[in-house]
A and B are shown apart, each in its own frame.
Chain A
Amino acid sequence: MMKDGVQGATEEEQQAQSKKGLKKQQKEAEKAAKKAEKQAKQAADQQSSEEDDFAKHRYGVSAMVQSQEKLDRTLVQIQDLTPAKADQLVWLRARVHTSRAKGKQCFLVLRQQQFNVQALVAVGDRASKQMVKFAANITKESIVDVEASVRKVELKIESCSQQDVELHIERIFVISQAEPRLPLQLEDAVRPDGEGEEEGRATVNQDTKLDNRVIDLRTTTSQAIFRLQSGVCQLFRDTLTNKGFVEIQTPKIISAASEGGANVFTVSYFKTSAYLAQSPQLYKQMCICADFDKVFCVGPVFRAEDSNTHRHLTEFVGLDIEMAFNYHYHEVIESITDTMVQIFKGLRDNFQTEIQMVNKQYPSEPFKFLEPTLRLEYTEALAMLHEAGVEMGDEEDLSTPNEKLLGRLVKEKYDTDFYVLDKYPLAVRPFYTMPDPNNPKYSNSYDMFMRGEEILSGAQRVHDAQLLTERATHHQIDLEKIKAYIDSFRYGAPPHGGGGIGLERVCMLYLGLHNVRQTSMFPRDPKRLTP
């Protein structure tokens, strides 16, 4: 009984369902028929319109460029579109940044890197209704070739970088089409934090940006950041080359950990294993012992630190300096700080557009510095911190919060975002650091800070094999493991010192950004290995 009842119920249900299903199917069939009808009509329309479209050779999707021909056509740069080019007919290649159709005309914004210009396709003797429709349907971020006449405008176009001219399009061909659905909108990715929140405008979170880095890198902010970063590298190389430094390349696969044993990536190396270099220091020092006098290198550095902070990466670009000096390691400090000052000056004088561009999205105080660079001694720093109420031991290292506080105090008194802190306690520095000749508590070592964050740690290195052995023993380091290092100094070594900075960190701090991932093109951190 019970069973039957249940069965009966289900049968009824099934019947009801199938009735519903039938109706649904019917509806869908009707829909499909309508759609087909519509499509047929559209196709017919198109056919008929194509037939009477006088402008059909003036637009379209180009065949894929497979280097079929070598056109001798001059393309202009958007940044060169000024009133001086008014009424000229020009060709250019650009991305469609935005498009907006409005009756018989379509407004496009065409973009090349950080520059953009307004363009217009309007029904007239050059463009047909169909051509306007085609332009309006080009997906955002597609790449187009455009022939257009440059026109001066009465009213400045505030939303574009080229404010005094617009383009009247006469031909438009799609070179590469973007998919209609973009993973993120460029205008959302450059929106300053908090702006447009009331209107419910979206901002893009960092992971989405990094997952779709190719698109995120197209934004004006990213363009500016990485152009400035390239400037940092260029200025670093130029300044040091002018000072007589030699650029060297050092191996990244090494047999022993250079700074202690922790924090190194192990890689399999045929039948044994090797490590990824944490620092080119040993090789820089060997070059000094090999009489290269002053060297620098620019290359990747690896740190297997599982720190998920705003300023740690597992792979970053190291800008490293090492030099022999005559009598005092301050010769090294002066060379390094002057290099930094030349970089800051170069950025201040030649990268204002980029700095302003980044500031639009991430406002920050301009980077301030002194020439020559301010050098304070560790005891002075402790006195300043003491005055501010921080109690710490003479031979204690600075904690990150104390570094930040000290940065604020130094900024307040000297109004500089860059300074050197000299004469660190020997106890908190690595074994190869040269002790202070007058006070065994201190050492000939220094840190450099930008906006209160450490960017460089350096020192006069011990260049005497015997003293180096003593210092290593004092630090309870296995002498066997560093034998090759100590042996480098057995055949006569000049007194020398150096240091290294992280390119990403320097860019981040110069621009006053808050995350080092913003200044790393394809950042590597404990949680990100792609793209």
Chain B
Amino acid sequence: STLVPSCRISSIVGTVSTWHRGYRATINNGKVDPAVKALQARQDVIIRKLYELKAAAEGLAKIVTTPDADLDLTVGSSLALQSSSSTDLDTLLGKNHGALRDIVINANPSQPPLSLLVLHSLLCQRYRVLSTVHVHSSVSNVPPQLLSCLGAPHADSYARHLFQLGFTLIWKDVPKPQMKFSIQNMCPIEGEANVARFLYKLLAPYPSDPGAATLVDSWVDTAFFQLAKGSAKKRTAVLRALNSALGRNPWMAGPEFSLADVACYCCVLQSGSASAAAANVQRWIKSCENLGHFSPAKILTQ
């Protein structure tokens, strides 16, 4: 569960220290004002704290994701673990005491989280997933296509212990999508982008290179904050950026399909800007659709 924060912190540390180096260069060129000096000292403290936090998060990640910390010598850092191809749920989510690991997602029926539905269908290809949809008493009149958005119930759904993973979607009056997994060891994850990051980790590791990981992260944020929620002007700008990125690479963040593609595709679809997009984006949309992962999102936007 700490994989998400540790990676997020690495990217924050990276960004802040880059900016900090630049700032230091400019003040070395001019004369040093005592106020600037004090500011610099405060920044040093902040950066040190961030590094400490990163180390602590990585330490925690190691404890949680390593079945027996004393015996395990192969796991050097959380990033090394991510690059390994192991998707064993015990390693990713912790031991389960023989009971179903149930991921609970609360989402508002007025804004279906398309990317999470896509990730759900990808999870179903990888694991035995028990999928259930509930309606919370805080909402009523949920349209039927939202009740069946996780597909027909599994034939074995009467026996919860037969499944590796539970995916419980609750339509509820929430301001933004929210995910709950282990209520003792983990706080709820808020926001579609963050929930998508968590789910994607169960499918494939994040790139081990911090630069590449940051690129994926930044596309995910751009998709959810500027494409899905931004103004028309912002959307046009993002679509232009998408087009140029897709001119350099077949997928959003390089040669490999990644979470960036899931996020961008769903947000393009949701914003209704697919048909007006430029050539590279059109080609990429076709490639995405050829993968066959996106039908849950398509059904809901039709």
Contact = CB atoms under 8 A, between A and B. Distances in A.
A506 to B, nearest CB: 16
Contact of B100 (A328, A377, A388, A409): A377
B97 A414 contact: no
B60 interface: no
Contacts of A388: 184
Nearest to B142: A371
26 contacts: A328-B158, A330-B158, A344-B137, A367-B137, A368-B137, A370-B136, A371-B135, A371-B137, A374-B134, A375-B160, A377-B100, A379-B97, A379-B161, A380-B99, A380-B102, A380-B161, A382-B97, A382-B99, A383-B97, A383-B98, A387-B182, A387-B184, A409-B183, A414-B170, A415-B172, A416-B136
Given A368-B136, A368-B137, A415-B170, A383 B180 contact: no
A31 interface: no
Contact of B134 (A371, A377, A409, A413): A371
Contacts of A369: 136-137
B117 to A, nearest CB: 19
Contacts of A100: none
Contacts of A368: 136-138
Interface string A372-416: 101111011011101110000000000000000000010011111
Nearest to A367: B137
A348 interface: yes
B271 interface: no
Given A370-B135, A379-B161, A380-B102, A386 B97 contact: yes
A415 B171 CA distance: 12
Interface string B167-182: 0101010000000101
B160 A380 contact: yes
B168 A414 contact: yes
Contacts of B170: 370, 414-415
Given A409-B183, A412-B183, A383 B99 contact: yes
A372 B172 CA distance: 13
Given A375-B160, A379-B161, 15 more contacts: A348-B137, A368-B136, A368-B138, A370-B134, A370-B137, A377-B160, A377-B161, A380-B160, A383-B98, A386-B97, A387-B184, A387-B185, A409-B183, A412-B183, A416-B136
Interface of B: 96-100, 102, 104, 106, 134-138, 158, 160-161, 168, 170, 172, 180, 182-185
Contacts of A348: 137
Contacts of A330: 158
Contacts of B98: 379, 383
B97 to A, nearest CB: 4
A412 B134 CA distance: 16
Interface in A306-352: 328, 330, 344-345, 348
Chain A to chain B: the 4 pairs with minimum beta-carbon distance, closest first: A383-B99, A370-B134, A383-B97, A380-B99
A419 to B, nearest CB: 11
Give the interface centre of A328, A388, A412, A415 by most chain B CB atoms within 10 Å: A415
A53 to B, nearest CB: 60
A493 to B, nearest CB: 23
A413 B168 CA distance: 11
Nearest to B185: A387
Contacts of A375: 160
A344 B183 CA distance: 26
A372 B137 contact: no
Give the interface centre of A409, A412, A414 by most chain B CB atoms within 10 Å: A414
A350 B259 CA distance: 46
Contact of A415 (B106, B160, B161): B106
A446 B99 CA distance: 17
Nearest to A341: B137
Nearest to A381: B99
A384 B166 CA distance: 14
Contacts of B185: 387
Contact of B99 (A328, A377, A413, A416): A377
A328 B137 CA distance: 28
Contacts of B135: 370-371
A372 B170 CA distance: 10
Nearest to A416: B136
Contacts of A409: 183
A413 B136 contact: no
A384 B102 CA distance: 11
Contacts of B168: 374, 414
Contacts of A344: 137
A376 B160 contact: yes
A414 B104 contact: yes
Contacts of A387: 97, 182, 184-185
A367 B138 CA distance: 10
A372 B183 CA distance: 22
Give the interface centre of B99, B172, B185 by most chain A CB atoms within 10 Å: B99
A376 B100 CA distance: 9
Contacts of B158: 328, 330
Contact of B180 (A345, A376, A384, A413): A413
B136 A379 contact: no
Interface in A27-54: none
A332 B227 CA distance: 47
